[in-house]
Amino acid sequence: MNRTESPSLLLRILKSVARCFDQATARKLASLRLDKRSQAMLDQWADKCTEGALTPEERDEYRAVVDAMDVIAILQIEARQQLKRKRRALIA
């Protein structure tokens, strides 16, 4: 599989997952944010990454977290769109 196929497959899978959300789940996911401690650690790793100062273990965990956050961000977009469609349907 080439790199151009992966994002579209991942997006299709995540859209399928998002269709399983009820309204309460979509609202919670749409408003999900990192706690202050986790955000501080992520910011620290980002700074160290920019400086090329991450240990191999930090680099692996940083990459895993960034990848996970990308997936969560896509799910949040889908949740927000689902909520927007629901609101429009209620108004119509």
Instruction: Render each residue's pLDDT in the chain as its tens digit; 92 residues.
Output: 455 555 689 899 999 999 999 999 999 999 999 999 999 999 999 999 999 999 999 999 999 999 999 999 999 999 999 999 988 888 87
Q: Residue 18 burial (CB < 10 Å; 0-12/13-18/19+)?
A: buried
Instruction: Please count the structural domains in the chain.
Output: 1
Provide the residue range defining the domain that includes 85: 5-91
Instruction: Tell me the whole-structure pTM to 2 decimals.
Output: 0.81
- Chain Cα centroid distance, residue 50: 21
Residue 39, both tokens: 């955000």
